Chains A and B, each alone.
Chain A
Amino acid sequence: MDLITELTILVLAAFVGFEVISKVPNTLHTPLMSATNAIHGIVLLGGILVIGQAEGFLSKTILVIAIAFGTINVIGGFLVTDRMLEMFKKRPEPKKQAVEATEASK
């Protein structure tokens, strides 16, 4: 792929990022930060792409560490975010349900 195509993708994706994220309520800032943090763990792909061509002990070692780092970033990031969001479950609202039940029975 040529550089200009890549730059086009880069700039358009940046605008998508701005648009999607500028609407997040305060409440979700920490989980959002954590989820985006997990997404940049995608650099893991870079390690996978390069390691096959790498030669020599040092290069291979560097890349195994890079893949391990990327994996920690991805897996840890998504798990931690899930743990945070798990707590955002809706509270059971017995009153509302009761109202709906009586309305339904009418």
Chain B
Amino acid sequence: MARSLWTGSLSFGLVTVPVALYSAVRDRDIHFNLLHGPDNSPIETRRVCAHEQREVPYSEIVKGYELDDGRWVLLSDSDLEAAAPRKSHTIDIEAFVEEREIDPLYLDRPYLLVPENEAAAHAYTLLGDAMASSGKVALGRFVMRAKENLVSIRPRGGLLALTTMRFHDEVRSSAEIAQELESAAAPSDEEVRNAMAIIAELEVPFEPEGYRDEHRAHLEAIIKRKRKGQKISVAKAKPAKSQEPAPVAPDLMGALEESLARIRGQDASKGKTAAKPKPKRKPPAPKAPAKRASGARRS
């Protein structure tokens, strides 16, 4: 079982629910080890005190903040906790809002909350049920690893899912980009209609399982080849400059119409009737064996 990253309480009103927090992200990346080139032996990282030039154990390491004059203020975990004692142990729910009000720009990392005991499970279930029937998500704040997190909490598959969020001042303004666009001509109605027709033609239900991690597959393939002693052609990695056409489609309307004709042509050849009011495409089909979720790739 995974280890919890934080334990504390989830609090709404005067109801306090002891909970543990788990990451909702599973690490599926292909990991490389650092090796010493000449003999391929593993590299170990040691933490060394720059002053004494000796290795120091974790227990002797604290956090430090550098002042403007170059002096350092050392901060122990309890110092950091003292800065916000309640927030370090409690996720205070401050409001309930509509999910759609939360712009995804604010979302950071997903976690799962789990009740710590039977009594907690009762209040936990109640909160989940109440949120599910109101369709709202909870907003709260807490401190984890010396960082305050704005969080949103929503019921998911019998559990409460928590997502950390960025604070307002951590999301940049898009105003300068919007300004750059002000002088550009607005698209014509016909162009917009055609673009929306393309969108409708390419619309599928969002089925995330259909998308495989190609980067992972590419790395696996290259490792396999190299293991067999095959040479990896590095020249391939150089950007092929002449491959891209001119940066701008000279005729936007022409490109739109040609796109539509092609997409519809493809659909027709696949046996779809052109008369369908809103043809739905099949959800994405993975291009390679999609046995991803089964955990088989660990071997």
User: Are chains A and B native binding partners rather than an unrelated pairing?
Assistant: no
